[in-house]
Amino acid sequence: MSEKKWLANRQNAQKSTGPRTADGKRAASQNAVTHDLLSREVLLPDEDGDVLSTLRTELFAELAPAGALETFWVDEAVACVWKLRRINRLERSTLVYHQNENIEHARLFP
Write out pLDDT tens, residues 51-85: 999 999 999 999 999 999 999 999 999 999 999 99
Q: How many residues does the chain have?
A: 110
| Confidence band for 49, pLDDT divided at 50, 70 and 90 | very high
pTM, entire model = 0.58
Most confidently modeled range among 3-7, 28-32, 77-81, 85-89: 77-81
Identify the three-state secondary structure at position 8: helix
Q: How far is CA 25 from CA 19, 28, 34, 52, 94, in A?
A: 5, 5, 16, 25, 31
What gap in Å lies between CA 42 and CA 24, rounded to an integer? 22
